[in-house]
Structure formats: structure tokens, C-alpha cells
Amino acid sequence: MSNAEPIQRENLRVAAIQMVSSRDQDTNLATAERLLTEAHRAGAEMAVVPENFVTYGNRHRPSIESQEHFLRTFADLAKRLNLWIVAGTYPLSIPPATVSTANQTSKPQAVTVVFDNNGQIRCHYAKIHLFDVDVSDSAKRYRESDDFLHGDHPVTFDSPWGGIGVSVCYDLRFAELYIELVKRGAGVMVVPSAFVEATGRDHWEILLRARAIECQCFVVAANQGGHHGGKLRTWGESMIIDPWGRVLQRIDKGEGLVVADIDLSSLATIRARMPIAQHRRL
């Protein structure tokens, strides 16, 4: 059953930002700020930034001071740009809402933090499904659980545009998570990602469009997109998709952004004509 607040504004201009993050965290932060500023200038009201956009390729755990700095930086940036920001992920071992060390963990979680346009934290989502796989690229073996703790619950947040569901990268392969987000009232799904090239080539667009179609939701997917040095290559093709599975905007490889206007009133029409949620039997 939906617990989201009603839609106050039916039209949302949203941006999906694509980066090719390096090991230089200061450069990554500067790039994210520049691209978010471009999104603001393009009239975006909400922007989604890729997974690991600050720390991609770095395995060390950020200090408490670094974590606090990250949270303050993006709170200030969201307020200055008057922009909702879906930031990340970033390795956090402290509770983002309180910036307190009281409950810090020995291993961080991969956390997406959502800031509203007043710089307030609206929610944080710890990635549930960690990428522990063997693939046919030069890196061969990925074990996110070596560096991160699993998240343990789905997250939606209320906005002027209704309920929005948060997921990250490998979560895309688990349709049951997205069905749960719809049950919680999501009409838009945000998907910060660092989808690797080997799997992205075959599965990235297919999975995104499938999630949009089966959930009858808009999907905003912000990916890493290029060569990050060494063996690390990501697929790119950040895109924005409508509830019928049509790609509204996309970017190929490299750094940049895409912006699209989405009409939330279309959700009710599509869901009424094909009431999948009512027909679901499992």
C-alpha cells in the first residue's frame, strides 16, 4: 500500500549526471559541482549523481572528518543551487541525518544521500545488493562486500513530485526491490550507478527499461561512463526513461549530463489503463 504524499507538482525537470571519476577525490568533487551547476542552469529541479562519484577506485575508508565534510558540502551545494540532489553513493559509517559518531561502524555502507533544495537531508539509502561477482572483463573479480556492509531496507522519500524510490547499480537485477518501492508509493526511481562495461553492454538498458515498464515508473539512471585508469571501465549511457519504457534522453560515453521534463500526471493514466498493481497475484 502506498504511503507517499500526494503529488503537489506534476512536472519535474530532472538531470542524470555522468562522470568518469578518477582516484583524485578533490577533482571528482569539483567535477560533480560543475556538472550540478550545469544542471541548475539547464533548469533542472532535481539531479542524480553516479555511484562512487567521489571515491571510485579508492578502497580506503574515509575518515569521520571526510564523511562530515562530504555531507556539509552537498547540503551547502543543494541550498546554493536551489536543487534537489541525489548524491552518490559515498562510504558512510556514521548516521547521515545526525552527523554523529555515536553509532559509527567498523565497515562503511555504500550510501546514497538525498538533499532537498534547502540543503536538508531527506533520506539516506544504504545499498542492499552488493556486487560480488565474476565477470568477463579485465578486472574479472568484484567483491563489494570486502569493503562495505549490506543495507537492509528499501527507501523511498516524499517530494513535491510525489514518492521517489532509491536504488543503486546492482540493485537493478532484483525486480522485487522495485516492486516494493512501488508499493511504498514511488512514481520515479533514481538509480546512481557504476555499471561496468562488460555487463553494461548487454544488460544496462534492458534492465532499466524493464524496471520502468513493470513498475510503471519514470527511471532516472546516472552512470559512470568511461576508463578510470588501470582495469576499471564503466559503460556510461546514463538515461531517463518513461513508464512505457521509452528512453527520453541519453548520453553515450564520457562526462556530461542529460535533462528531461517528465509529466507525473501520466502515471495515473498509464496505471489506470493497465492496472498491473491490482492484477498482481504474488
68 catalytic? Reply is no
127 catalytic? Reply is yes
What is the rounded distance in angstroms from the CA atom of residue 256 to the CA atom of residue 51? Answer: 15
| Residue in 45, 51, 197, 237 annotated catalytic | 51
51 catalytic? Reply is yes
| Residue in 5, 10, 79, 127 annotated catalytic | 127
Burial class (CB in 10 A: 0-12, 13-18, 19+), 61: middle
| Residue in 123, 169, 215, 217 annotated catalytic | 169
User: Hey, which residues are catalytic here?
Assistant: 51, 127, 169
